[in-house]
Amino acid sequence: MLDRKERMSTVDAVIVGAGFSGLYLLHRLRGLGFTARVFERGDGVGGTWYWNRYPGARCDVESMQYSYSFDEKLQQEWHWPEKFSAQPDILAYAEHVAERFDLTKDIDFETEVNTACFDERTRRWKVETDSGEKVNAQHLIMATGCISTAQIPEIDGLSDYRGSTYHTGRWPHEKVDFTGQRIAVIGTGSSGIQTIPVLAEEAAHVTVFQRTPNYSIPSQNEPMQPKYEASWKANYTAKRQEMRYTGHGSLKDLNDKSAMSADENERQKTYTERWKIGGAGFLASFNDLLFSQESNDTASEFVRQQIRKIVKSPKTAELLAPKTYPIGTKRICIDSGYFETYNRDNVDLVDISEEPIERLTPTGLIAHGKAFKFDSIVFATGFDAMTGTLFNVDIRGRAGLTLKQKWYAGPRTYLGLMSEAFPNLFMITGPGSPSVKSNMMVSIEQHVDFVTESIVYMRQHGLEVMEPELAAEDDWVDHVQETANKTLFPRANSWYMGANIPGKPRLFMPYIGGVGTYRKKCEEIVAENYKGFHFKPAAAVAAAE
């Protein structure tokens, strides 16, 4: 048996996570002649799409836009069966990419990175996994995704419950058969809204526990139309380029006009047309829906009216109609028959906005003083987003500072890519970048390209260490908050604000200045020799010791 020292390996980069970020990173770094190892806690690739296997899981970005753009042959050859892809199709795509580019040989599955410490003497990250393996790497790249740490709320009696429990973000691999069951769904975010209609078709009875109603737009999903697919494929390069400089990284046909500059008739006509088209393009009905409360009110009211038209019980419709925050300031939901589901005889809605679930019991739960019995409880209760997964790894930078210590009052990054005191640590779609406020595929590709090009730059210039300057980082953190404060986003208790996790600092985590604006900013910084970053050549670091 090898001793510990002999087992230790050395690579240029350790990548944590084999979702879309980790896969593309590995492909690019290897192609540029770097050595890399990927550690992935799941037993397969796909990240979000590996874990979120709940019935009804589907992407809310159109298939033609939610895919890699880096390989022309791949984008021409791949066929998406539906306008909005279901989870199994996206997972199949991730698996295809891994196979096509021969990526799995450098991925350790079912392996979690526990600790990562920057050794100032060797200028290397010392990474240790849960299998006890130690790896030295010049670069540590967190490709862990923004919404990967599932949250089950601390409700009293959780361990007393004897039935089956599920979390949408950790769904079993084998099919769960709910036939004949009475089930509870707790949570009505994107995941709950997608899964409730599908569960209602299968289970004997579904009781939905809703703390906050959500605005949801019908996806108007349909099989992929050959003409539509062909029109994208004929112009893929140009369309992808256009997407990269839009506000959200996707082509949504923004109506560049204020809602208040239109009269009531025009607004109704616009909203009705967008509702019929479906999808998140509804928020692009006018250009100021996320900036002006008055404009936003018109769109919010339109959606409430649709809910009242769809849901037959006026009482249930009122409970489902969001009134406490502006539309779009919590992640907009895209559904397939969500509101219609409440017209079924086997679906009930329980409002827990005023009074939380009291506790779980061996047979179900107690809410409003009433005991409910359930065979299964589905938690659609979300994630410790953006920072939770980074904190799950004990990351220690210079002088042993932990990331958690540095970010105690909220994440501090330069461009959402790096954090001062953590040399050569990169984050893909980290807090402070457009990340979850964008088409993730566009943001992932941009960050992977930025990181790999930075590493190439270092190699070309004989540089060994890269780190943001504290002043540049402070300015960026302020800019991220100032940008958010000019919008309506801070008015909602959303996971963007960390509001779903008790005790989490309350501030807007993603960068809302726009995907195109952000990309141009990154391009300018690179053109100015990586303004705001400083580098150390190998010799200078050694001499300073």
Site residues, ligand N01 (CB under 6 A):
58-60, 147, 153, 168, 186-192, 194, 209, 211-212, 331, 334, 352, 356, 380-383, 436, 495, 500
Q: Which is nearer to ligand N01, 104 or 191 (CB)?
A: 191
**Backbone torsions φ then ψ of 79, nearest 5 degrees:** -115, 125
Q: Which is nearer to ligand N01, 380 or 393 (CB)?
A: 380
Q: What minimum distance in Å lies between the beta carbon of 219 and ligand N01?
A: 8
Q: What minimum distance in Å lies between the beta carbon of 468 and ligand N01?
A: 27
Distance CA 427, CA 434 (A): 13
∠ CA(539), CA(542), CA(545), 5° rounding? 150
**Backbone dihedral region of 56: left (phi > 0), alpha (psi from -120 to 50 degrees) or beta?**
left
Q: What minimum distance in Å lies between the beta carbon of 57 and ligand N01?
A: 6
Q: Which is nearer to ligand N01, 26 or 515 (CB)?
A: 515
With b for 16 or more beta-carbon neighbours within 10 A and e for fewer, the 351-386 pattern comes to bbeeeebbebbeebbebeeeebebbbbbbbbbbbbb
Q: What minimum distance in Å lies between the beta carbon of 466 and ligand N01?
A: 30
Q: Which is nearer to ligand N01, 397 or 431 (CB)?
A: 431
Q: What minimum distance in Å lies between the beta carbon of 89 and ligand N01?
A: 13
Q: Which is nearer to ligand N01, 329 or 452 (CB)?
A: 329
Report whether 346 contacts 200 (CB < 8 A).
Answer: yes
Q: Which is nearer to ligand N01, 209 or 374 (CB)?
A: 209
Nearest-CB residue for ligand N01: 189
What Å distances lie between residue 120 and 117, 504, 544, 545, CA to CA?
Answer: 9, 31, 11, 9
- 198: tokens are 């599908």
Q: What minimum distance in Å lies between the beta carbon of 540 and ligand N01?
A: 43
Q: Which is nearer to ligand N01, 152 or 401 (CB)?
A: 152
| Contact partners, residue 345, CB within 8 Å, separation at least 6 | none
Q: What minimum distance in Å lies between the beta carbon of 11 and ligand N01?
A: 32
Report whether 131 contacts 111 (CB < 8 A).
Answer: yes
With b for 16 or more beta-carbon neighbours within 10 A and e for fewer, the 430-451 pattern comes to bbbbbbbbbbbbbbbbbbbebb
Residue with tokens 């607004």: 267
